[in-house]
Chain A
């Protein structure tokens, strides 16, 4: 019985396409600002082509089967590009759902005599289009998630710059909350920079870290320990008064680490320790002299 759908699609292809396009163009949720008529035409044409090819197999229920592979691929591409253009998921799915009406009227015109068969055909076509529509939503969602994931990764990279302050001194200004994933990125980039610049001192500035709990402190201590293993000393700077209080209340032991209140203080200490700066510079840097 489903073969009659395939036949109808094949025979009345042009009428269906025209009707479909007409409806898409007059539909109230048409985004004329985002997609041109010509683009819509080629998209619809292409979709109808692959759909006709797929339904010739007589398979109407399993869209996972290989015959539907081109259809799914095409829909995936549409949803991705439309997602990027700024369509909403329902607008994207409507592209598929709007095919129902022209297809049903075509079926009615051609099927004719047996109402039972007509209803069955419609039901099969309806199910198929529903599945395809849902698939576009899924693909849309996926592409959005990909974007989010990529942005997350980029932010991770962005948020952990290691800068060389002086010969032999690197600084790592931390901004935002530290979690394990970020700590490992931070640790790796810090250690790599230590190797690359042959720095013996690293200043970890936590001015931009909003809260420090035991977990964050543990991550910090791990980073310090790893840097020490490589032969570099760490100074933690930018500990705000509230954070200092919290740390003591949480009984976090930072006695093994040099800590300074501000980055400037840490840098002065580092310069003195490395003995690289001339006495004048150190003098000018310290306010009490």
Chain B
């Protein structure tokens, strides 16, 4: 989708699947030179600390490859679980749904591009 990649997680994540996803995603970002990644976890209703860390790591990896990551559609129960686990995912952007996540990415990338063009005119 343009400069963005959309990842929809629809099955229960187990650890190998999560690692495979991480591999695929980083490869893909590098290949298509993506600027933004949307991870839709609205159908995920069970998480553990590993998945939480996986999300944070993926976002960090994407950032290294110059792509913004937005995690969208997190379920209330999932959010509560992650907070109880002490995972605040502080480096990860979040949005309510894909639409809003997309908006957010556009805004972010727009800002960075604008910054690049006008070179720090604020």
**A91 CB → nearest B CB, Å:** 47
Contact A194:B96 (CB < 8 A) given known A231-B74, A231-B101: yes
Closest B residue, CB atoms, query A232: B96
In angstroms, Cα B75 to Cα A194, docked, is 10
A244–B29 alpha-carbon span in the complex (Å) = 46
B96 and A200: CB pair below 8 A? yes
Interface mask (B60-82 → A, CB under 8 Å = 1, otherwise 0): 00000000000111111011101
In the complex, B89 has a CB within 8 A of chain A:
yes
Q: CA–CA, A230 to B82, complex, Å?
A: 11
B100 to A229, Cβ gap below 8 A? no
Number of interface residues of B (CB under 8 A): 20
Cross-chain contact B89 with A231 (CB below 8 angstroms): no
Interface size on A, as a range, is 10 to 19
A272 located at the interface, meaning its Cβ lies under 8 Å from any Cβ of chain B in the complex = no
Interface contact A226-B83, CB-CB below 8 Å: yes
- The 6 A-B residue pairs with the shortest CB-CB distance, nearest first, are A191-B76, A231-B95, A231-B94, A226-B79, A229-B79, A231-B96
Q: Can you offer 26 A-B residue contacts whose CB atoms are under 8 A?
A: A187-B80, A191-B76, A191-B79, A192-B76, A195-B75, A195-B76, A195-B96, A198-B96, A198-B97, A199-B96, A200-B96, A222-B83, A222-B84, A225-B88, A226-B82, A228-B94, A229-B83, A229-B88, A229-B89, A229-B94, A230-B94, A230-B96, A231-B71, A231-B95, A231-B96, A231-B101
